[in-house]
Amino acid sequence: MEGRPLAEAELVARAQRGDERAFEELIRPYEEIAFRIAYLITGGAAEAEDAVQDGLVNAWRAIGRFRRGEPLRPWLLRVVANAARNRRRSAGRRAQLVLRAESEQSSGDAAPSPEAIVLARDERTRLLGALNALPENARLVLACRFLLGLSEDETAAALGVRLGTVKSRTARALDRLRDVYE
């Protein structure tokens, strides 16, 4: 068993008994997704970092109340997203999502023609521009679902809304995006 990563349930149990190392190990796989959610909500990397710190300290304080057997990720994302929303009230700005520089993108199996690359890039830039221009609620729900790949349950947890709200908000946001983009 030595050297083998502990199962999440075991880490939760240890963290609930006050084991800080277990808690750190528990949250490590979720740091990146937590930071990106916080970035989307706060609109800045520095605020997002502070929000993740706040959220993880809150999560550590509350881990005793976490219900064993429930998935940890939505709970953790919710706590971090709450901290991010608190930070955002004073910041009042939004993250502008941008594409990576051309040279860093993978070219795929077959090398496309230069024209096709330029066209595809233009299309993606236009789609991202349309997404960035959506109202905040619409942009956030689409970013959580499609850019971060969160499930509907996780999106509900991160945005602090009910599952039904995620479904209806996603449908409306896609309609709005379609109007702008297509």
Residues that bind another protein (CB under 8 A): 20, 24, 27-28, 31-32, 34-36, 39, 45, 48-49, 52-62, 64-67, 70, 75, 78-83, 85-86, 89, 97-101, 105-106, 123-124, 127-128, 131, 142, 146-149, 157, 160, 162, 174, 177-178, 181-182
As a whole number of Å, the end-to-end CA separation of the chain is: 54
CA dihedral 50, 53, 58, 64 (to 10 degrees): 170
CB 161, CB 82: distance < 8 Å: no
Helices 114-132 and 163-181: angle between axes, nearest 10 degrees: 130
Shortest distance in whole angstroms from residue 116 CB to another protein: 15
Going by C-alpha positions, the residue among 96, 70, 167 that lies closest to residue 78 is: 70
Shortest distance in whole angstroms from residue 83 CB to another protein: 5
Shortest distance in whole angstroms from residue 41 CB to another protein: 10
Shortest distance in whole angstroms from residue 3 CB to another protein: 19
In the complex with another protein, the residue whose CB is nearer, 4 or 65, is: 65
Residue type, 146: F
